[in-house]
Amino acid sequence: MKRVLITGKNSYIGTSLENWLLSEPDKYKVDTVDMKDGSWKEKDFSSYDVIFHVAGIAHIKETADNQDIYYKVNRDLAYETAKKAKQDGVEQFIFLSSMSVYGIENGVIDTSTPLKPSSAYGKSKIEAEDLINGLQDDSFTVATLRPPMVYGKGCRGNYPRLVGLAHKTPIFPKVDNKRSMIYIDNLSEFVKKLIDNRSGGLFFPQNAEYVSTSEMVRLIAEAHGRRVRMTKLFNPLLRLLNVSTVNKVFGDLVYDMSMSEYESDYRVCGFRESIIKTEQRN
């Protein structure tokens, strides 16, 4: 039996993984710990095989006044947790990083793409990666995940905004863009495989197919019995509005698909099915 501690109580990804693993209670024992106060420092990690560190700051508008909190939580807290895990004899540490470490809003990310984070969030994540990787040795395996946008029931970020549009708008721009995304069940299955195999290294899990924003909105509406008419009428305007929000919704941003292969398949759900499941659950 694998004993797993999730550091980051009530986090979306952590809770989803917990539920995913506990569907096989004979194979996994899962605990969570709240990282918001210092009480976690008194917890004995030695009884665990794996720490999955998901505690972090995200989905908060960055300002000059709040940048320090990103480094205190996303970098310093993560590093202190990893040091404690190693000291207490934990064999594997899985760190949830982000696609944001590349600092780009459009394009294709491959193995040669440089790391140029442009936000405190991205900078704090890559600095945490560097510190944690420095702890790795034969007895302490580090796995770092840089997933793209994660979606599923209860997620935060851009997906709920698209759901709102799918419920309200009668028309939507038809843009044939490509985005790397990962459905929460696919991500949970990927982490489970990392745990089973005690895998270490840098990983880029994503769905087996790229996602078009227009198709996602269409499928969300369809799941609720609505029809949204797609039109290219607005496309010239979108091309002129070269601003961050438009790029995040309608631009291309993908991982080269070859980066996301693993020794066994973790994509338990295809894109269309994932939208149906998410909206049925919601």
First to last CA, the chain: 32
67 lies in a domain?
A: yes
pLDDT at 281: 66
Domain that holds residue 79: 2-146
Distance CA 171, CA 174 (A): 9
pLDDT in tens, 6-35: 999 899 999 999 999 999 999 999 999 999
129 lies in a domain?
A: yes
pLDDT at 28: 98
233 lies in a domain?
A: no
40: domain CATH number is: 3.40.50.720
153 lies in a domain?
A: no
pLDDT at 244: 62
pLDDT at 59: 67
Distance CA 43, CA 84 (A): 10
7 lies in a domain?
A: yes
| Cβ(152)–Cβ(274) below 8 Å | yes
Per the structure, the count of domains in the chain is 1
6 lies in a domain?
A: yes
DSSP state at residue 199 = -
Is the Cα torsion angle 82, 85, 91, 92 positive or negative in sign?
negative
Tell me the whole-structure pTM to 2 decimals: 0.94
263 lies in a domain?
A: no
pLDDT at 66: 83
Low-confidence ranges of the chain (pLDDT < 70): 59, 238-245, 281-282
pLDDT in tens, 29-67: 999 999 998 899 999 999 999 999 999 887 677 787 788
pLDDT at 64: 76
Closest-CA residue to 2 (of 47, 41, 58): 47
Q: Which long-range contacts (CB under 8 A, 24 or more apart) does 54-61 make?
A: 54/6, 54/7, 54/8, 54/11, 54/13, 54/14, 54/96, 55/7, 55/8, 55/11, 55/81, 56/8, 56/96, 56/125, 57/121, 57/124, 58/98, 58/121, 59/156, 59/157
